[in-house]
């Protein structure tokens, strides 16, 4: 009976059950943050307008991203209603799909146990957990990339039309989620993999007439339809959002990109606590996947996959902290392979050093946290001061992480299962602490509380204004929960739209216009971040609501 239970747990359904137990509780109660709320607001406005080809954000057409994620959320709204938790169900489904695909790919390359371990490492890494609580198009393009790699392997085993069609359908999904990158990544990874495997027959997959026909039939009508509905869309989407973004000349320049070192630092953080195993795992994996090395040489696909993603964004001039997300899955499978080797008795030294480093980091992060806060605040000012809010959880981390790491060190030399168990428990503890931190920071990261306040208090003729923010998309959280359009203050030319917007729809106002509204006869609710200096005419303004990092002011 115990063997049957263990067999059922070390399977795809068992892995998904574990993932749901970790992700579902917080997914249903975590509010929409400023960085993600646009992906929930746009489909709600599309649903209200009845338009499937033209996305709207706060009443203005929004052309920066393809529509597949909007369509999925729109469909969910149609079935369950336009609520924040419904938008999160789509994101949760994408996370489960990514974990499931990790298991399927790992099982084909290594077997069930390493595949399960890889999936568990993926779901229990800090970055995968944190980022999959946010609604991002990057999740959809990552799933499409993983699906294309899985169908590539299936075609290699059995070159039939159905695998070729599914491979190209994955390219379509990737393109409709984030543009050309959704096609470039799979084809570049596939081409390098074909060269590494010395199998020119892959050209039959990439140039399959039926697959290419499917690609064109699904993409070209979308291009034509959106361009007809929004003249100028093609130029904006291809030139500004694809080419110029990569070169770092996208307009408006409202993204503060991280340096190459900072980008790799975040990749290091995102894969915690498993990061310290990665250098040794990559080296051993490279050695073992060579001809005669003992591991299926097809597994080198994982190294090519992660290498292409990280190299592309290292070369790009526009990189943010979560762009390494598509590389998590292949790296997690490499780590799963390495942990499986440890369970078989190999790799003791790498585990020992990893646990030592984790114990040191558990204490040392107390001194590193202010520097990380400074790094994040340089990209987004509202992060300033957030370290103080999560300080209690830092102290818990400084106790629990070294404790579990030391237990693994003491038990590991003779009992590898206990060493692996301690590291796994440590990963779940970090996920739990991360969850508590995010819930604590949610009043700062989200505008749910002020949005719901004005929804209950504001009359239809009252005006809702959000003070200066560099990106106009960051007003979506306030608008979503207020359930009405808002105005945003523009200072020094920011925020601004990257395309012409008709005057009646333009919700960006000058500081002078804000003063006119504030001193006029209509009631004005003004949401202002504490990091934004107040105008003199706001001195002594009535505070309707005070929250960490922000205040809601009212003029009368």
Q: Could you read off the pLDDT tens digit of each residue along the chain, which spans 556 residues?
A: 345 544 545 678 889 999 999 999 888 889 999 989 999 999 999 998 888 888 999 999 888 888 899 999 999 999 999 999 999 999 999 999 999 999 999 999 999 999 999 999 999 999 999 999 999 999 999 999 999 999 999 999 999 989 999 999 999 999 999 888 999 999 999 999 999 998 889 999 998 888 888 888 988 888 888 888 888 888 888 888 888 887 777 777 767 778 899 899 889 989 999 999 999 999 999 999 988 777 888 999 999 999 999 999 999 988 888 899 999 999 999 999 999 988 887 667 778 888 888 888 778 777 767 766 666 666 666 666 666 777 777 778 778 888 888 888 887 667 888 888 888 888 999 899 888 888 888 888 899 999 999 999 999 999 999 998 888 899 999 999 999 999 999 998 888 888 888 888 899 999 999 999 999 999 999 999 888 888 888 888 899 999 888 899 999 8
Q: Does residue 183 lie in a domain region? A: no
Task: Please report whether residue 420 resides in a domain.
Answer: yes
Q: Do 398 and 380 reside in the same domain of the chain?
A: yes
Statement to judge: residues 396 and 483 lie in one domain = no
Report the alpha-carbon angle 277-272-12, nearest 5.
85
- By the 10 Å C-beta count (0-12 exposed, 13-18 middle, 19+ buried), 177 is classed as buried
Q: d(Cα 337, Cα 327) in Å, to the nearest integer?
A: 16
Residue where a domain stops, chosen among 423, 442, 461: 442
Helix H or strand E encompassing 59: none
H or E element, residue 405:
helix 391-411
Q: Are 21 and 9 in contact (CB under 8 A)?
A: no
What range does the domain containing 432 cover? 349-442
Q: Are 490 and 544 members of one domain?
A: yes
Tell me, yes or no, whether 478 and 530 share the same domain: yes
48, HSE (Cβ side, Cα atoms, 13 Å): 12
Question: 383 with 453, same domain?
Answer: no
Counting the structural domains of the chain, the total is 2
d(CA 211, CA 42): 31
SS3 of the chain: helix, strand, coil, percent, to 5? 70, 5, 25
What is the number of other CB atoms lying within 10 angstroms of the CB of residue 477?
Answer: 28
Among residues 399, 420, 442, the one where a domain terminates is 442
């Amino acid at each position: 009976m115990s063997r049957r239970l263990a067999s059922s747990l070390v399977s795809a359904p068992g892995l998904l059950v574990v993932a749901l137990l970790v992700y579902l509780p917080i997914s249903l109660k975590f509010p929409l943050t400023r960085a993600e709320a646009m992906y929930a607001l746009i489909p709600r406005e599309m649903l209200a307008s009845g338009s499937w080809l033209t996305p709207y954000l706060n009443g203005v057409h929004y052309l920066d991203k393809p529509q597949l994620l909007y369509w999925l959320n729109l469909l969910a709204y149609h079935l369950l209603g336009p609520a924040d938790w419904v938008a999160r169900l789509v994101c949760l489904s994408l996370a489960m799909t990514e974990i499931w695909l990790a298991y399927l790919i790992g099982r084909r390359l290594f077997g069930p146990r390493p595949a399960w371990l890889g999936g568990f490492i993926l779901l229990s890494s800090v970055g995968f957990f944190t980022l999959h609580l946010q609604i991002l198009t990057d999740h959809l393009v990552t799933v499409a990339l993983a699906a294309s790699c899985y169908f590539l392997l299936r075609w290699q085993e059995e070159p039939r039309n159905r695998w070729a069609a599914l491979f190209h359908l994955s390219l379509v999904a990737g393109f409709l989620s984030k543009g050309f990158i959704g096609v470039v990544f799979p084809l570049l990874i596939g081409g390098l993999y074909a060269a590494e495997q010395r199998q020119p027959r892959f050209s039959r997959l990439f140039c399959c007439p039926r697959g290419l026909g499917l690609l064109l039939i699904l993409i070209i009508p979308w291009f034509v339809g959106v361009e007809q509905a929004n003249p100028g869309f093609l130029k904006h989407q291809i030139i500004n959002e694809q080419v110029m973004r990569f070169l770092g000349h996208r307009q408006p320049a409202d993204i503060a990109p991280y340096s190459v070192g900072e980008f790799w630092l975040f990749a290091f953080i995102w894969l915690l606590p498993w990061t310290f195993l990665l250098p040794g795992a990559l080296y051993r994996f490279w050695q073992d996947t060579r001809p005669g090395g003992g591991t299926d040489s097809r597994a080198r696909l994982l190294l090519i996959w992660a290498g292409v993603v990280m190299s592309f964004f290292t070369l790009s001039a526009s990189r943010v902290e979560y762009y390494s997300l598509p590389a998590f899955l292949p790296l997690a499978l490499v780590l799963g392979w390495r942990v499986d080797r440890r369970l078989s008795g190999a790799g003791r030294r790498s585990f020992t050093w990893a646990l030592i480093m984790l114990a040191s980091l558990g204490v040392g992060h107390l001194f590193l946290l202010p520097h990380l806060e400074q790094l994040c605040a340089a990209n987004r000012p509202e992060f300033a001061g957030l370290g103080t809010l999560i300080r209690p959880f830092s102290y818990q981390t400084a106790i629990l992480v070294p404790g579990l790491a030391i237990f693994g060190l003491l038990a590991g030399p003779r009992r590898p299962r206990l060493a692996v168990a301690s590291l796994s428990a440590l990963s779940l503890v970090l996920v739990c602490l991360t969850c508590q931190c995010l819930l604590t920071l949610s009043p700062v990261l989200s505008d749910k509380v002020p949005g719901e306040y004005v929804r209950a208090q504001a009359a239809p003729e009252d005006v809702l204004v959000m003070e200066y923010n560099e990106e106009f998309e960051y007003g979506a959280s306030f608008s979503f929960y207020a359930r009405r359009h808002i105005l945003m203050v523009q200072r020094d030319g920011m925020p601004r739209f990257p395309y012409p917007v008709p005057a009646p729809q333009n919700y960006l106002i000058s500081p002078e216009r804000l003063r006119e509204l504030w001193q006029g006869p209509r009631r004005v609710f003004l949401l202002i971040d504490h990091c934004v200096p107040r105008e003199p005419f706001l001195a002594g303004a009535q505070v309707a609501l005070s929250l960490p990092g922000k205040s809601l002011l009212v003029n009368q």
